[in-house]
Amino acid sequence: MSAPRFDLDDELLARAAWSRLAEPGDVNAGALIAALGPSRALHWLRVAHGDADTARRAIDALGERVPLLRAGPRVLSAAVARWGPRLTDLDPRRELRVLRSLGGVLVTPGTPRWPGGLDDLGASTPPCLWVRGDPALSDAVARSVALVGARASTAYGNHMAGDLAGGLVARDVTVVSGGAYGIDAAAHRGALLAGGTTIVLLAGGVDRAYPTGNADLLRTVVESGGSVLSEVPPGGAPSRWRFLQRNRLIAAVSRGTVVVEAAWRSGALSTANRAGELMRPVGAVPGPVTSMASAGCHRLLRDGAAVCVTDADEVVELIGEIGRDVAPSRGSEERPTDGLGPEERRVHDALPVRADAAPQMLAREAGLSEAEVRGALGTLELLGIAVRHGSGWRKADAHGRRHEDSDG
């Protein structure tokens, strides 16, 4: 075991080191760090990665002292065998230098900037976040929605992503997404266009734009007061495993997740499922049944795994506190006949438009008694939707005026 190139007792460096040693979502690493703290966990790993006898003693001792690590010696040995090879050449100071050269900082759990939603991940909470742009993540995600979806999006999906993002920004909601082509990019762009804050959660290191075609977009996010972040240190490649794990961060960091467009099999559905597991509300935007790019959204709706959302108000209602953010009712286009009871409605139905009818005739037409008809006519006259002409009655126009006789 060569001497470490950095101060293991520096907790920040230790956390940065762990984000390099353990793959995203490693619950054994998470449990170890939670039990010992990142520095002591590193010290322990150096011993446990030593010769077999020392390792066994270290593992047995830990198992006794930390019942949280109920995984047992076998799982711990396997974990040490995973982390150990990466101890060679480990130097988080180098990666932090890269981050700082990009104007970034490391944000760690328990500090004011840390987005508390991530703590819901339990043992798979990342040891730290590598953040470019605004590091005040906690404030930014207090009201936030993840807009996620297919890379192979349609013009409809891009329109909806941009439209929802703009509407959310107007309602003071931060838009979170994954910086990919398609829905992700449309969501980030929509938020930027509306002058809002947006957060990009990458699967690889924040020093590399992935996909490279979105390099300009990521730069604009950082320059516009948003953030680009990752749990993987600079230099980390975005493997498929890391994409899946990145999706858990998107789900956990946001107040809710909305799938804008997704094929029947789509990574966006994994984000939705993770959000559901974390008890975060999940929305899905419907689309044409004839579009395969909406099949995943319809699948979520069918399975009852998502609420149907069609505009920014409904998305805000999805994540809002009960009674505070309720989507405005759409029953605005009121009709004069809206408040009528069944008898009044039937008399109104029976009223001629361009001739007059006596109550007796209206009674037979509407299937009501004459007394009921006379009562209803009184109400309709008050509402201005029926007018009397001698002993007869007819419908009135919207302004309470009688229609002209057809025969002059």
Residue 345, interface with a second copy (CB under 8 A)? yes
Residue closer to a second copy, measured from CB, 115 or 205? 205
For residues 257 and 148, the answer to whether their CB atoms sit within 8 Å is yes
Residue 289, interface with a second copy (CB under 8 A)? yes
Residue 375, interface with a second copy (CB under 8 A)? no
> What is the x/- site pattern for a second copy, positions 60-79, by CB under 8 A?
------------------x-
Give the torsion sign (CA, 219, 222, 226, 227). positive
Residue 353, interface with a second copy (CB under 8 A)? no
One-letter amino acid for residue 57 of the chain: R
- Beta carbon of residue 273, minimum distance to a second copy (angstroms, whole number): 15
Residue 15, interface with a second copy (CB under 8 A)? no
Residue 309, interface with a second copy (CB under 8 A)? yes
Stretch that binds a second copy, among 154-162, 184-192, 196-204, 384-392 (CB under 8 A): 154-162
Q: Which of 180, 280, 273 has the alpha carbon at shortest distance from 228?
A: 180
For residues 99 and 106, the answer to whether their CB atoms sit within 8 Å is yes
Helix, strand counts (H, E) of the chain: 17, 11
Residue 287, interface with a second copy (CB under 8 A)? yes
For residues 216 and 112, the answer to whether their CB atoms sit within 8 Å is no
Q: What letter does residue 327 receive in the DSSP assignment?
A: P
The token pair at 365 is: 């037409």
Q: Which of residues 253-282 bind a second copy (CB under 8 A)?
A: 264-265
Residue closer to a second copy, measured from CB, 50 or 84? 84
- Beta carbon of residue 263, minimum distance to a second copy (angstroms, whole number): 10
Q: How far apart are CA 76 and CA 275, in angstroms?
A: 29
Residue in 290, 324, 341, 404 binding a second copy, rule: CB under 8 A: 290
Query: How many residues touch a second copy (CB under 8 A)?
Result: 56
Q: Which of residues 176-215 bind a second copy (CB under 8 A)?
A: none
For residues 14 and 128, the answer to whether their CB atoms sit within 8 Å is no
Q: How far apart are CA 75 and CA 72, in angstroms?
A: 6
Q: Which of 100, 98, 62 has the alpha carbon at shortest distance from 80?
A: 62
Alpha helices in 152-233 (DSSP H): 155-170, 183-193, 215-223
Stretch that binds a second copy, among 130-138, 155-163, 223-231, 389-397 (CB under 8 A): 155-163
> What is the x/- site pattern for a second copy, positions 33-52, by CB under 8 A?
--------------------
List beta partners, residue 144. Answer: 174
Based on its alpha-carbon atoms, the radius of gyration of the chain, rounded to whole angstroms, reads 31
Stretch that binds a second copy, among 66-74, 98-106, 202-210, 325-333 (CB under 8 A): 325-333
CA distances (Å), origin 339, targets 162, 335, 383, 401: 39, 8, 10, 20
Alpha helices in 278-331 (DSSP H): 295-302, 312-319
Which 3 state secondary structure label does DSSP give 402?
A: strand
Q: Which of 132, 151, 196 has the alpha carbon at shortest distance from 169?
A: 196
Residue in 94, 159, 208, 395 binding a second copy, rule: CB under 8 A: 159
Residue closer to a second copy, measured from CB, 154 or 177? 154
Q: How far apart are CA 145 and CA 405, in angstroms?
A: 59
Residue 341, interface with a second copy (CB under 8 A)? no
Residue in 31, 137, 275, 350 binding a second copy, rule: CB under 8 A: 350
Residue in 63, 225, 286, 384 binding a second copy, rule: CB under 8 A: 286
- Beta carbon of residue 368, minimum distance to a second copy (angstroms, whole number): 5
List beta partners, residue 293. Answer: none
- Beta carbon of residue 359, minimum distance to a second copy (angstroms, whole number): 11
Residue in 107, 160, 250, 396 binding a second copy, rule: CB under 8 A: 160
Which residues contact a second copy by CB under 8 A? 21-23, 26, 78, 80-86, 156, 159-160, 239-241, 264-265, 285-290, 294-295, 297-298, 301-302, 307-311, 314, 330-331, 333, 342, 345-346, 349-350, 360, 363-364, 366-372
